[in-house]
Structure 1
Amino acid sequence: MPTDVPGTPVPRGFDNKHSTEIKSEREERRRTFLNPDGTHTTRFYAEPVNYRNKKGDWVAIDTTLVRQEDAPGPRTMSVDEPGWQTGSTEVPLSFAGSADSDAVLRMQLGDGLSIGYGVEGASRPDGPTEAGSPTRTCVRTPTSSSSRAVTRSRRP
């Protein structure tokens, strides 16, 4: 049974509002915090919460979508209307400002390469986005369609 010593502060540990992350202690699945009482708390995660940037520093993963005009750094898409992109991810993802763009979703692969997906027959919707988010409605007339995979090979 622990004994309380008069005048000795009782460790309170992690405080979500006041504990500060020690960024130099980051790893892919770990974050360490300095607590207001001087103790440290290390949180371990089942999935990556940090990634290494090109400089080799650990950066916190932030999948929040932000307007490209508000995002720090270079844009990941070039569109007439500013689109959306992830706040901070190892593989940058961006969404076009309008569903009629050639690529509605684009994923950067590195070395100047990217892959994008579009919506055939989509049109620019009327009105603003819903509640300031990248959600849009009625961008394509409903149709009955089917898809099939096509494999092409060439013999020497």
Structure 2
Amino acid sequence: MTSPRAVLTLTSPEATCALASQLATRLSPGDVLLLSGGIGAGKTHFARCLIHALQDPPEDVPSPTFTLVQVYDTAAGELWHADLYRLSDPDQCEELGLADAFETAICLVEWPDRLEDLAPADALSLSFDAGAAEDSRALTLDWSDPRWDAIVTELTA
């Protein structure tokens, strides 16, 4: 059985931000988003827009490339934004406390391939690629947990 999949074209950085804001309102602690794609594909832009949508007022959201994890208090609960690009071993993910955060916080994980088998099976995977037009992105969403069915349907309507 194959997992459900949706493919979207995001025509601009503003469209990417709008989708992130829509998704933000549907998230709660225990939700994990796995953001993949090459450097410059739009992962951090998406994450920043999603975090801003949950903050009142929005605060500075730096890329966690060097800090590895940034934690935010939001109206929806604690949110962890992790950038695993610099990690070389999944054990380092355990040391960061990500396994616990997957259960208690909203988690956005860039470079989720670094998690290997630590990636939660019920996560929503978002894969960003350059689109055909300048500044556009092709976004593929994959999931196995039925919880995401209605959410993705609403986002793609």
Q: TM-score range by the shorter chain?
A: under 0.3
How does the TM-score come out when normalised to structure 2?
Answer: 0.21
Give TM-score, length-normalised by structure 1: 0.21
Higher relative contact order (CA 8 A, sep 6+): 2
